[in-house]
Amino acid sequence: MMSSEKIDTRTRILVAALGLLVDGKGSQVRMADIAKRAGISRQAVYLHFTTRADLLIAATKHVDDIKNIDGKLARSRKAKTGVERLDAFIDAWGNYIPEIYNIARALIAMSDADVEAAEAWENRTKAVREGCEAAVTALKLDGTLSPDYSISQATDVLWMLLSVQNWEQLTKESGWSQKRYIKEMKLITRKTLITKVSD
Amino acid sequence: MMSSEKIDTRTRILVAALGLLVDGKGSQVRMADIAKRAGISRQAVYLHFTTRADLLIAATKHVDDIKNIDGKLARSRKAKTGVERLDAFIDAWGNYIPEIYNIARALIAMSDADVEAAEAWENRTKAVREGCEAAVTALKLDGTLSPDYSISQATDVLWMLLSVQNWEQLTKESGWSQKRYIKEMKLITRKTLITKVSD
DNA sequence: TTTGTCAATTGACACGGTGTCAAGTGTATT
DNA sequence: AATACACTTGACACCGTGTCAATTGACAAA
């Protein structure tokens, strides 16, 4: 029986889909392409996933498992001060974005056609928002959160700043390196969210 | 003959498309829907626009003409100081976003399937970027631009902050009012781009 | 009045992509 | 030998885009 060697067809499909999404033309990946890459018939894909959206959603979950985003985010929660925690969160999430960027694009593209896809993507962004809120709350507890904002408002702002679209714009349109993106985001969030330390 | 009264079919189509985009389900607007609303046959639409992308692009230009975005942006260029100019630009562009939001969505959605649509949208964002650059340059001349950034870097940041996606996230996801969006954007841009005046 | 032009109409169709269905094949299990 | 299961092949319905051909109706010029 061999526990390894023969990989689950379902995961082979997921891997194929991810492969195409990564080096492919974003949301233009068709069911037939995925099947071909997985080495099975197009129809067989439907034996494992009821719709394209279903498959895409499963693909993002699969990436989460492999890359262990939860673990990375958890580590950011251990930081002592609020500012350190903010930085750690930006490190964790900001460096995760490139990993899921292509799938994100596909999911976002499907979102206005497919409710399921929209919900899947919303779940993910909501999770990020929670991370933002936790970081903001830590700032508040330290007394370093800017008096301009309530926790909820500051969360809105941080969430906006750390959106996939902003990452996309800065790195893809403006040509920023990943390293620079992280560095500048830390700076911008400091400037906007953290109170002026004058003593 | 009557110069008015009988409106150009082409514009009737554009108006129909815009109407559907505004109160409709974003990018889900079909050629048949537009034709129906314009009161003509689906095929007749193709007598005026070669493709759906073509129509959508023409629709954005039509909005620009009607709402006179150029005029509004031009006014922002008259401000005396750099900071005033930045505010005026945010007022002009930020308040224009809701007008084009739905068309923007449709255009963005088509962008990874249709090269023309992608270019049309890119042209528009490029125009916004130029506005950002002009505002940033004005700050630089005043000596109020933060030493953290070169003109080009500051433009990247401002451009990112004023993206349609950020407007969408803050107003649609976080529930900010338009008024608040404008107010907070002015604040955030000040905090990130403007040097601390300590004297 | 006839002729021509032009916008629009009707109806049919090709294409590409998703999702479904039915019948068949090969292989491992019992 | 019988059964179950994963997968295959081939056909097909559905939808939306874009195309084509033949027709209609109005208005203008001769």
pLDDT digits (tens, 9 = 90+) for B51-76: 999 999 999 999 999 998 888 888 88
Q: B112 and A109 in contact by Cβ < 8 A?
A: yes
Query: What token pair was written down for B127?
Result: 């125009």
Chain D bases near protein CB atoms (7 A cut-off): 6-11, 16-21, 28
Interface test mutation site (partner B, options A103, A126, A191, A193, max chain B beta carbons within 10 A):
A191
Task: Return the number of other C-beta atoms located less than 10 Å from residue B70's C-beta.
Answer: 11
pLDDT of res. A32: 97
pLDDT of res. A3: 36
Q: B169 and A184 in contact by Cβ < 8 A?
A: no
C-alpha to C-alpha distance for A89 and A103, rounded to whole angstroms:
21
pLDDT of res. A198: 52
Residues of B in contact with A176 (CB under 8 A): 156
| The CATH number fitting domain A9-45, selected from 1.25.40, 1.10.10, 1.10.357, 1.10.8 | 1.10.10
B2-16, B99-113, B185-199: least confident range: B2-16
pLDDT of res. B170: 98
Task: State pLDDT tens for residues B126-144.
Answer: 999 999 999 999 999 999 9
pLDDT of res. A26: 67
Instruction: Decide: CB of B198 under 7 A of nucleic strand C.
Output: no
pLDDT of res. B1: 34
Residues of B in contact with A28 (CB under 8 A): 112-113
State the average pLDDT over residues B78-82: 91
C-alpha to C-alpha distance for B156 and A171, rounded to whole angstroms:
10
Higher pLDDT, A165 or B197: A165
Q: What is the DSSP letter of A195?
A: P
All structural domains of chain B with their residue ranges: 60-193
Task: State pLDDT tens for residues B4-26.
Answer: 345 799 999 999 999 999 877 76
CA at A45, C1' at C29: how many angstroms apart? 25
- Spatial contact of B54 and B116, defined as CB atoms under 8 Å apart: yes
Backbone φ and ψ of A93, nearest 5°: -70, -45
Query: What token pair was written down for A187?
Result: 């700076």
Low-confidence ranges of chain A (pLDDT < 50): 1-5, 199
At the top level of CATH, the class of A67-193 is mainly alpha
Backbone φ and ψ of A50, nearest 5°: -70, -35
pLDDT of res. A71: 86
C-alpha to C-alpha distance for A162 and A140, rounded to whole angstroms:
19
State the average pLDDT over residues B177-184: 98
Instruction: Decide: CB of A47 under 7 A of nucleic strand C.
Output: no
At the top level of CATH, the class of B60-193 is mainly alpha
Scan residues 8-47 of chain B and list those with Cβ within 7 Å of strand C.
Answer: 9, 39-41, 43-44, 47
C-alpha to C-alpha distance for B18 and A93, rounded to whole angstroms:
38
**3-state DSSP assignment of residue B36:** helix
pLDDT of res. B74: 85
